[in-house]
Amino acid sequence: MPELPEVEVVRSGVAEHVSGRRLAGVEVLHPRAVRRHLPGPEDFASVLVGRVVESVRRRGKYLWLSLGTSGAPDSGAPAGGHAVAGGQAVLAHLGMSGQLLIQPSRAADEKHLRVRFRFEDEGPELRFVDQRTFGGLSLTELIPSADLAVPDSIGHIAADPLEPAFDREAVVRLIRSRRTGIKRALLDQNLISGIGNIYADEALWRARLHWAHPTAALGDEQVHRLLDSVVEVLGEALVAGGTSFDSLYVNVNGRSGYFSRSLSVYGRAGSPCPRCGASVRREAFTNRSAYSCPGCQPVPSEPHW
Ligand SMILES: [Zn+2]
């Protein structure tokens, strides 16, 4: 499952290649890929023809292509603090195996090619490839907003820690007011988005906090330090991910791209902690695992498992 850094790598690659280009044709090769578009695949294709991809945006693990009607590329948010206009977008759910690829039109179809976007300029195509078809594309309305117009279907998703709209003070207060364990809070997309299992474990290790630490027992400073670690670990992963694709091929194949070489605790049960040398432990967490260091991240006195 791609997390924020992998999705951001895809977003920047797709944005570079499709922003400002007008769609000439959309071919749905597997109806399941657009199952969330209720009027059906033919309608999905026909409403998109002639539209210009103005920009490619992201919040957390969600990615969308904002559509306009003019040939001018998106000039960004209007000055003067006006709300960013609504409009429509194609929301991509990458699911477990979804990829967005930029390919020359002469390139052979991928085995699991589901949707093809051709452009008026006859340049490289945008292709949605998805082996397991858990992912998909849908047409969605954008909710006008002061900073980032987001698709209405993900309107409940909180800002992620890398976007300007992220209100750190408010998030610190919300985390401290919860009655839960800190890892559960970090994974709650209504509170803070874009953090999955891997980066939660890595950030908690950096902040020397056990994942079952009760949120209400954390001080302001501890939560700030943890959010610093989150930003740090996401930023480093982004840089590592940014080196793993070439200019004409963007994908989200890897669980964590090249960053997997830099993981300190995630997936490393039994290996020495890079900081203190203690053996990394794995504990059951919901239906998954939590990795931590028994030396640096002691179990709190009243854990919230
Ligand atoms: Zn340690």
How far is 176 from 218, CA to CA, in rounded Å? 7
* pLDDT of res. 20: 96
How far is residue 184 CA from its own chain's centroid? 18
pLDDT digits (tens, 9 = 90+) for 176-219: 999 999 999 999 999 999 998 989 999 999 999 999 999 999 99
Burial (CB count <10 Å: 0-12, 13-18, 19+), residue 255: middle
Neighbour tally for 63: CB within 10 Å: 25
Distance from residue 296's CA to the centre of ligand 1 (Å) = 4
Distance from residue 277's CA to the centre of ligand 1 (Å) = 6
One-letter-per-residue 3-state SS of 118-161: EECCCCCEEEEEECCCCCEEEEEEEECECCCCEEHHHCCCCCCC
Q: Is 178 annotated as a binding residue?
A: yes
Domains of the chain: 4-154 (3.20.190.10), 168-292 (1.10.8.50)
| Cα end-to-end span (Å), the chain | 24
Q: Which residues pair with 43 in a beta bridge?
A: none
Tell which wins on pLDDT, 21 or 165. Answer: 21
Distance from residue 295's CA to the centre of ligand 1 (Å) = 5
* pLDDT of res. 72: 44
Mean pLDDT is lowest, of 63-77, 211-225, 269-283, 284-298, for 63-77
Distance from residue 95's CA to the centre of ligand 1 (Å) = 33
Number of separate helices (H) and strands (E) present in the chain: 6, 11
Is the pLDDT score of 279 beyond 50?
Answer: yes
CA dihedral 103, 129, 63, 121 (to 10 degrees): 30
Is the pLDDT score of 3 beyond 90?
Answer: no
pLDDT band with cut points at 50, 70 and 90 for residue 146? confident
What share of the chain in percent tops pLDDT 70?
87
Is the pLDDT score of 256 beyond 50?
Answer: no
Burial (CB count <10 Å: 0-12, 13-18, 19+), residue 92: buried
What share of the chain in percent tops pLDDT 90?
69
Is the pLDDT score of 75 beyond 50?
Answer: no
* Active site members: 2-3, 61, 288
Is the pLDDT score of 158 beyond 90?
Answer: yes
Distance from residue 268's CA to the centre of ligand 1 (Å) = 12
How far is 159 from 165, CA to CA, in rounded Å? 6
Q: Is 173 annotated as a binding residue?
A: no
Distance from residue 269's CA to the centre of ligand 1 (Å) = 12
How far is 60 from 151, CA to CA, in rounded Å? 13
Neighbour tally for 101: CB within 10 Å: 21
Distance from residue 293's CA to the centre of ligand 1 (Å) = 5
By the 8 A CB rule, do 52 and 69 touch?
yes
How far is 169 from 172, CA to CA, in rounded Å? 5
Distance from residue 208's CA to the centre of ligand 1 (Å) = 8
How far is 274 from 296, CA to CA, in rounded Å? 10
Question: Considering the chain, what is the average pLDDT of its residues?
Answer: 87
Burial 10-37 (b: 16+ CB within 10 A, else e): bbbbbbebbbbbbbeebebebeebbeeb
* pLDDT of res. 184: 97
Residue 269 CA: distances (Å) to CA of 14, 24, 287, 294: 36, 51, 17, 11
